Amino acid sequence: MFALLCAAPLAAHADLYKAVDADGHVTYSSSPLKGGKKIYLEPLPTMAPLAKARSPSDFPKVDGETQKGRDASRRKILQDELDAEQKLLETAQQKLQAAQGENNGNFVSNGKSMHNGGRAQEYEATINSLTAEVNLHQQNIAALNTELSKLK
């Protein structure tokens, strides 16, 4: 069986011919072509497959109970961070709602700022900053949920 597998690439080798017509079009074929020339190709270099990397025999190993403890600690840390991030999100959302409520329609009409000195620009900057803060906390929560879902 091994000899058959080793011989398979040799059996797949075929002669290759190249012909160029009067218009310059190049044609390649595995059978002789009128006016064509046989092409001799060097065999492609081959190498043995790489062995799967293994840890050295003196590499420190962790028993199952120790790993379970580490996983539990990681889960607790991630859950604590998630809880804190959710509280920060609630606070940021409340600040954003309060800032939008303070406007009372004085500086925005149809979604566009109306000029009233620098107050309209200050309002927009505040809203943009608070919106970015809300978005950041939402992204952090999504990332923490992803990490928690990866734990066993």
pLDDT at 8 (0 to 100): 47
Higher pLDDT, 12 or 120: 120
pLDDT of 2 reads 45
Domain ranges in the chain are 2-39, 64-150
Q: Left if phi > 0, otherwise alpha if psi is -120 to 50, otherwise beta: which for 131? A: alpha
How far is CA 104 from each of CA 96, 123, 133, 151, rounded to the nearest angstrom? 14, 11, 22, 47
Please check the confidence at residue 152 and state whether its pLDDT lies above 90: no
Asked whether residue 16 carries a pLDDT value surpassing 50, the answer given is yes
